[in-house]
């Protein structure tokens, strides 16, 4: 079971739309006070007002561009200093479409700053603070593309593989410290991210795209069940465990004092 305590305020990044806004709605309904982070202050204010009125919880907002080091540092400092925060939904992210050949490298770098650098700094700030207090929850929003390097030119999918990797390592370090970690791997989910990345979601087979409500509700069930890795659309979790087992089987042979016979 999740050790999520409704006494604790939740900091949600990327709360102005899509998955982050839906987490805000669901967690407010569960009785959590919230601290909503994103760049679009107006959107955050409208959402915060609705959530206060509907749920009677405290909702604060913090405008920040997480690709700006100074603004990221302010969010990080808040996570380290504000003892009322007991949960982080590390969600803000952007996608990049197109090929690597001819790509706008500056755009890819900004994506990496948001999807990797900001996610890392905030996850570690939360992990340090929560571990010191002996309780807390960290949700890192990755993607099923973490398992699909062939898709999305390897750079967006690579940032999401990084988030999965980071979550698995953090979970190992946090064992016995009262802090729960969940890596969420959504498949295609109907949000603004597609339009922002100039991808036409209507070209996807409808059977491959989940509503954001269904996805976040499933993710929260996975959290309540104490899952480290949640893949909302995966019918049989044994498939994920088989992949993990196959990877671990490689372990003893990944580093040896002799090259394999086929290389001699």
Summarize as ranges the residues that interact with ligand NAP (CB under 6 A).
14-20, 38-40, 43, 64-67, 91-95, 114, 141, 143, 186, 188-189, 191-193, 196
User: 39 or 177: whose CB is closer to ligand NAP?
Assistant: 39
**Does 156 qualify as catalytic in the annotation?**
yes
Shortest Å distance, C-beta 140 to ligand NAP: 9
Spatial distance between the Cα atoms of 125 and 226, rounded to a whole number of angstroms: 22
User: Facing residues of 12 across strands?
Assistant: 36, 89
Residue 213, Cα to own-chain centre: how many angstroms?
16
Q: Which of 23, 156, 162, 263 is catalytic?
A: 156
Residue with tokens 């069930």: 221
User: 133 or 196: whose CB is closer to ligand NAP?
Assistant: 196
Shortest Å distance, C-beta 253 to ligand NAP: 32
User: 170 or 188: whose CB is closer to ligand NAP?
Assistant: 188
On whether the CB atoms of residues 91 and 17 are closer than 8 A, the answer is: no
Treating both helix axes as pointing N-terminal to C-terminal, what angle do 18-29 and 212-224 enclose, rounded to 10 degrees? 50
User: 92 or 127: whose CB is closer to ligand NAP?
Assistant: 92
3-class SS letters over 6-68: CCCEEEEECCCCHHHHHHHHHHHHCCCCEEEEECCHHHHHHHHHHHHHHHCCCEEEEECCCCC
Shortest Å distance, C-beta 96 to ligand NAP: 10
Locate all alpha helices (DSSP H) within the chain, ordered by sequence: 18-29, 41-55, 69-81, 105-112, 119-133, 155-173, 193-196, 212-224, 237-250
Shortest Å distance, C-beta 260 to ligand NAP: 36
User: Facing residues of 61 across strands?
Assistant: 36
Q: Which of 98, 137, 87, 90 is nearest to 116 (CA)?
A: 90
Shortest Å distance, C-beta 251 to ligand NAP: 28
User: 39 or 135: whose CB is closer to ligand NAP?
Assistant: 39
Measured at the alpha carbon of residue 86, what is the angle toward residues 58 and 33, in degrees to the nearest 5?
Answer: 10
Any idea which residues carry the catalytic annotation? Answer: 156
């Amino acid at each position: 079971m999740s050790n999520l305590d409704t006494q604790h305020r939740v900091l949600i990044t990327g709360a102005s739309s899509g998955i982050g806004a839906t987490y805000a709605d669901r967690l407010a309904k569960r009785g959590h006070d919230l601290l909503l982070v994103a760049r679009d202050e107006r959107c955050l204010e409208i959402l915060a007002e609705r959530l206060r009125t509907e749920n009677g919880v405290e909702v604060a907002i913090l405008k920040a561009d997480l690709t700006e080091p100074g603004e990221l540092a302010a969010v990080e400092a808040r996570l380290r200093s504000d003892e009322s925060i007991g949960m982080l939904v590390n969600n803000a992210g952007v996608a990049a479409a197109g090929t690597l050949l001819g790509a706008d490298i500056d755009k890819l770098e900004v994506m990496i700053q948001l999807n990797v650098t900001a996610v890392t700094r905030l996850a570690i700030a939360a992990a340090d603070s929560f571990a010191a207090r002996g309780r807390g929850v960290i949700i890192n929003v990755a993607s099923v593309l973490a398992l699909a390097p062939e898709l999305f030119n390897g750079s967006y999918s690579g940032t999401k593989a990084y988030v999965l990797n980071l979550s698995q390592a953090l979970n190992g370090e946090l064992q016995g410290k009262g802090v729960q970690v969940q890596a969420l791997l959504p498949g295609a989910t109907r949000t603004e991210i597609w339009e922002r990345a100039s991808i036409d979601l209507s070209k996807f087979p409808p059977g491959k795209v989940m509503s954001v409500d269904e996805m976040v509700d499933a993710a929260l069930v996975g959290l309540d069940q104490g899952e480290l890795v949640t893949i909302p659309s995966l019918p049989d979790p044994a498939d994920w465990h088989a992949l993990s087992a196959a990877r671990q089987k490689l372990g003893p042979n990944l580093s040896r004092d002799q090259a394999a016979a086929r290389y001699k």
